[in-house]
Amino acid sequence: MEKKSKPTFYVTTPIYYVNDVPHIGHAYTTIIADALARFQKLAGKDVFFLTGTDEHGQKIEKAAAEKGMNPRQLADSVVGRAQDLWKALNISYDFFIRTTMDFHERGVQVLFKKLLDQGDIYKGEYRGWYCVSDENFLADDVPADGEGGKACPDCGKKATVVCEETYFFRLSAYQGRLLDHYAAHPEFVRPPSRMNEVSSFVRGGLKDLSITRTTVKWGVPVPGDPAHTIYVWFDALHNYVTGIGYDWNMSLFEKFWPATVHLVGKDILRFHAVYWPAFLMASGFPLPRTVFGHGWWLKDDTKMSKSRGNVLDPQAILATFGPDPLRYFLLREIPVGQDGNFSHEGFLHRVNSDLANDLGNLVQRTLTMIRNYFGGGITDPGAESDKDRKLRTDFDALKTRVFELYDSYFLNRALEEVWTYINDVNKYLAEEQPWILARDPTRKPRLARVLQQAAAAIRGVSYLVFPVMPGSAEKIWGYLGEGKKPSEVLYAEVNFEDFGPGRKTAEPQPLFPRVALKDFLGEEAPPASPPPAARPEPKKEERQMGIVTFEEFKRMDLRVAHILKAERVPGATKLLKLEVDIGTEKRQMVAGIAETYAPEDLLGKKLIVIVNLKPAVIRGIESQAMLLAAVVDDKAVIPFFDREVATGAVVK
Ligand code: MSP
């Protein structure tokens, strides 16, 4: 292999079926990949980011027939719209592969033939059940339904009987090698819980896999036996090698293979963590470092999918907000391995609170003051105070932590850390009160220093959020008078000090639109519950008790939280400030419990908190959750648990 000058980072998304245009669930994977690719470029790696479309197979053949098209026409029409969507989301892929491209089909045939010649593929007969929607053979132990048919255990759709001559891949021969690989490389499947699933599946025994069909015409022909087409998953998985040049640009292939990370939804993990490495072992290729199985976006608690009819079209949101709010929301809201429920309220809350208020306002206020008080260019800043120094050194520490978090796929935690710092900058301005300093000409050097520190912090945080919100970060750097774009500066080279005196800043435009919930819901979403007129009039006793509907109750997100820190709030006899772990993240909260509990009574205890209440600021501290407590003689008594419960467990 060629000697590598820079370390490489090769990231892939699944290739999407062309039966319809991608929805928010698909956009999610692509956005994760884009953020990782952008980050690794900043980190100095040579990056390749591959995405594309999966165009062969029975599912596409069937969808095209239903639309009165041939499969090629269907694929062509969907591909253009998918590419438009990636453009609207500011996705920076290096190559978009379509499995109908000549070089891909050839590469698949070359590898098929190699495995056939060496005996890893052999001819036989397949009898069994097949799910067209998932393009998957059912396991033998899937029970029959009452009418003698079988339903796919994954998607629930009716399976069809297949009985035909087929070529098999000798998957059973790879069981031991796969298990050895999992044991030696625990990072091969992430998160770790998914590794357990995969290895227990393989330990349960592997049967040889049928990898050709005679009844499906829309596929890559088997070399030398064109009555057979190659199974769509064998075809599709090989996009990861043909897309970087296998068999047509071997130096590119050798530079980037093996992949650093294949991002896939948890539903297709088995194909990537069992079949794919077995195919690669058979071909003699090294295995990818990691297959990351991410969670699903749900709508109303079920997986968003076309067949369930609950998909959200990202284009509608993009038209109002542009790409960055959606990118931010999807990556901030959940850790990459977990499921998340998409709600319009949740989306808007994040946009208005984190983006418009915390970041957007900070940029707007700071730059407006620099214009008003210094004509856009700061001069003669006074000496650095302790608080100024803290803002600077905190940024250095933040930069290191955020690097580690991005590098290990904890994107939501990276954003969380950045926002804690953004709030510190907001607090710094609230305490330093530059608008008061501006009234006193003798304090001009101090005013200059305060605004310079704030602008330096803004420059730093916008760099750190660049992988997730590239457009906004570029705009902010432009307003700050930077000659370069964030993408042109390496991570190691970004310093707080780089925003020095003498820069000419520009007039900022609002970065994030403020949209009222009613306007947003009116445009975007069907009402979550029937409109008021359609609801039965509540009974009198319901009205008296302030009865809420189950739907209303369900909107509350109650969870088990673990108390990590507790301290008194200075000058407030009733208040304690707590730091709690809610399973997915840490939150700080302020609670009126100091008359009943000393801080040390609470450490390590678990309690119930509401986590989706709008944050409130109490005594200058943002309270980001609320605990439940009984009020006894005017004092709060917390209901603790009588047995061990997991942190983050949902309470309902
Ligand atoms: N064509 C195959 C992949 C072949 S890769 C060699 C396929 N395509 S797909 O279009 O059905 O799905 C592509 C990806 O989108 C999968 O990883 C799937 O998990 C993901 N998602 C589909 N709906 C999703 C959500 N609602 N939420 C998150 N991801 C989801 O499978």
Residues 119-152 pLDDT 10s: 999 999 998 899 988 888 898 888 888 788 899 9
Q: What integer pLDDT is reported at residue 470 of this predicted model?
A: 98
Mean pLDDT, residues 299-322: 83
Residue 284 CA to residue 628 CA, distance in Å, equals 58
Q: Whose CA is nearest to atom 18 of ligand 1?
A: 265
Residue 329 CA to residue 324 CA, distance in Å, equals 8
Total residue length of the chain: 652
Ligand 1 nearest-atom number relative to CA 304: 26
C-alpha 270 – ligand 1 centre gap (Å): 13
- What percentage of the chain has pLDDT greater than the value 90? 70
Residue type, 638: I
Residues 561-593 pLDDT 10s: 999 888 888 778 888 999 998 877 788 999 999
C-alpha 264 – ligand 1 centre gap (Å): 7
Residue type, 560: V
Mean pLDDT, residues 208-218: 95
Whether 240 is in the pocket of ligand 1, judged by its Cβ within 6 Å, is no
Whether 131 is in the pocket of ligand 1, judged by its Cβ within 6 Å, is no
Ligand 1 nearest-atom number relative to CA 267: 19
- Report whether 31 contacts 476 (CB < 8 A): no
Residue listed under structure tokens 């993240």: 585
Q: What integer pLDDT is reported at residue 585 of this predicted model?
A: 77
Question: Considering only CA atoms, which of 560, 593, 595 is closest in space to residue 577?
Answer: 593
Confidence of residue 198 (pLDDT cuts 50, 70, 90): very high
Whether 21 is in the pocket of ligand 1, judged by its Cβ within 6 Å, is no
| Strand-pair category, 221-222 with 160-169 | unpaired
Whether 264 is in the pocket of ligand 1, judged by its Cβ within 6 Å, is yes
Whether 78 is in the pocket of ligand 1, judged by its Cβ within 6 Å, is no
Residues 11-32 pLDDT 10s: 999 999 999 888 999 999 999 9
Strand segments (E) across 142-193: 160-169, 189-190
Instruction: Tell me the Ramachandran region of residue 14: left when phi exceeds 0, alpha when psi lies from -120 to 50, beta otherwise.
Output: beta
Lowest model confidence (mean pLDDT) among 104-113, 414-423, 512-521: 512-521
Q: What integer pLDDT is reported at residue 547 of this predicted model?
A: 67
Q: What integer pLDDT is reported at residue 303 of this predicted model?
A: 84
Whether 237 is in the pocket of ligand 1, judged by its Cβ within 6 Å, is yes
Ligand 1, from 11, 13, 15, 16: best to mutate by most atoms within 8 Å of Cβ? Answer: 16
Cα distances (angstroms) measured from residue 413 to each of 13, 151, 409, 458: 22, 39, 9, 19
- Asked if residue 528 has pLDDT above 80, the reply is no
Cα distances (angstroms) measured from residue 97 to each of 50, 362, 540: 7, 41, 63
Q: Whose CA is nearest to atom 5 of ligand 1?
A: 14
Mean pLDDT, residues 373-396: 95
C-alpha 16 – ligand 1 centre gap (Å): 6
Q: Whose CA is nearest to atom 8 of ligand 1?
A: 16
Provide the β-strand partners of residue 569.
Answer: none
* SS3 label, residue 461: helix
DSSP annotation of 132 reads T
Mean pLDDT, residues 457-468: 98
∠ CA 157-160-163 to the nearest 5 degrees? 155
Residue 532 CA to residue 61 CA, distance in Å, equals 45
C-alpha 365 – ligand 1 centre gap (Å): 42
Whether 268 is in the pocket of ligand 1, judged by its Cβ within 6 Å, is yes
Ligand 1, from 267, 300, 331, 338: best to mutate by most atoms within 8 Å of Cβ? Answer: 267
Q: Whose CA is nearest to atom 29 of ligand 1?
A: 25
Residues 357-372 pLDDT 10s: 999 999 999 999 999 9
Ligand 1 nearest-atom number relative to CA 240: 6
Q: What integer pLDDT is reported at residue 527 of this predicted model?
A: 40
Whether 17 is in the pocket of ligand 1, judged by its Cβ within 6 Å, is yes
Confidence of residue 530 (pLDDT cuts 50, 70, 90): very low
Which CB contacts under 8 angstroms, 24+ apart, belong to 266-270?
Answer: 266/194, 266/293, 266/294, 266/295, 266/296, 267/134, 267/154, 267/296, 268/14, 269/189, 269/194, 269/197, 269/198, 269/293, 270/198, 270/201
Residue 625 CA to residue 613 CA, distance in Å, equals 7
Confidence of residue 521 (pLDDT cuts 50, 70, 90): confident
Lowest model confidence (mean pLDDT) among 48-57, 179-188, 438-447, 549-558: 549-558
CB atoms within 10 A of CB 420: 14
Question: Considering only CA atoms, which of 322, 330, 323, 324 is closest in space to residue 347?
Answer: 330
Whether 279 is in the pocket of ligand 1, judged by its Cβ within 6 Å, is no
- pTM attached to this predicted model: 0.80
C-alpha 211 – ligand 1 centre gap (Å): 21
Question: What is the widest separation between alpha-carbon atoms in the chain?
Answer: 91
- Asked if residue 381 has pLDDT above 50, the reply is yes
Ligand 1, from 13, 15, 19, 26: best to mutate by most atoms within 8 Å of Cβ? Answer: 26
C-alpha 30 – ligand 1 centre gap (Å): 10
C-alpha 27 – ligand 1 centre gap (Å): 10
Lowest model confidence (mean pLDDT) among 213-217, 303-307, 365-369, 540-544: 540-544
Mean pLDDT of the chain: 91
Lowest model confidence (mean pLDDT) among 186-200, 238-252, 493-507, 511-525: 511-525
Mean pLDDT, residues 80-107: 97
- Asked if residue 350 has pLDDT above 70, the reply is yes
Whether 296 is in the pocket of ligand 1, judged by its Cβ within 6 Å, is yes
Question: Considering only CA atoms, which of 293, 291, 292, 290 is closest in space to residue 266?
Answer: 293
Q: What integer pLDDT is reported at residue 543 of this predicted model?
A: 45
* SS3 label, residue 468: coil
- Asked if residue 537 has pLDDT above 70, the reply is no
Question: Considering only CA atoms, which of 353, 311, 241 is closest in space to residue 27?
Answer: 311
C-alpha 641 – ligand 1 centre gap (Å): 39
Q: Whose CA is nearest to atom 7 of ligand 1?
A: 16
C-alpha 338 – ligand 1 centre gap (Å): 15
- Report whether 650 contacts 559 (CB < 8 A): yes
Whether 28 is in the pocket of ligand 1, judged by its Cβ within 6 Å, is yes
Q: What integer pLDDT is reported at residue 181 of this predicted model?
A: 98
Q: What integer pLDDT is reported at residue 383 of this predicted model?
A: 96
Residue 392 CA to residue 381 CA, distance in Å, equals 15
Residue listed under structure tokens 């939804």: 265
- Asked if residue 541 has pLDDT above 50, the reply is no
Residue 167 CA to residue 228 CA, distance in Å, equals 9
- Report whether 253 contacts 244 (CB < 8 A): yes
Lowest model confidence (mean pLDDT) among 191-200, 283-292, 518-527: 518-527
Structure tokens at 351: 């946009």
Whether 26 is in the pocket of ligand 1, judged by its Cβ within 6 Å, is yes
Whether 135 is in the pocket of ligand 1, judged by its Cβ within 6 Å, is no
Ligand 1 nearest-atom number relative to CA 295: 28
Ligand 1 nearest-atom number relative to CA 54: 1
Q: What integer pLDDT is reported at residue 595 of this predicted model?
A: 86
Residue 128 phi/psi, 5° resolution? 170, -165
C-alpha 26 – ligand 1 centre gap (Å): 6
Q: Tell me the DSSP string of 240-282.
A: HHHTTTTTT-HHHHHHHPSPSEEEEEGGGHHIIIIIHHHHHHH
Q: Whose CA is nearest to atom 9 of ligand 1?
A: 16
Confidence of residue 522 (pLDDT cuts 50, 70, 90): low
Ligand 1, from 244, 264, 268: best to mutate by most atoms within 8 Å of Cβ? Answer: 268
Who's near 454: CB < 8 A, 6+ residues apart?
362, 366, 425, 428, 429, 434
CB atoms within 10 A of CB 258: 14
Q: Whose CA is nearest to atom 12 of ligand 1?
A: 16
Residue 277 CA to residue 273 CA, distance in Å, equals 6
The four Cα atoms 479, 333, 428, 391 give a dihedral, to 10 degrees, of -80
Ligand 1 nearest-atom number relative to CA 276: 6
Confidence of residue 292 (pLDDT cuts 50, 70, 90): very high
Question: Considering only CA atoms, which of 234, 76, 218 is closest in space to residue 169?
Answer: 234
The four Cα atoms 130, 165, 120, 180 give a dihedral, to 10 degrees, of 20
Q: What integer pLDDT is reported at residue 533 of this predicted model?
A: 39
C-alpha 13 – ligand 1 centre gap (Å): 9
* SS3 label, residue 191: coil
C-alpha 266 – ligand 1 centre gap (Å): 9
Ligand 1 nearest-atom number relative to CA 236: 6
Ligand 1 nearest-atom number relative to CA 266: 19
- What percentage of the chain has pLDDT greater than the value 70? 95
Who's near 642: CB < 8 A, 6+ residues apart?
none
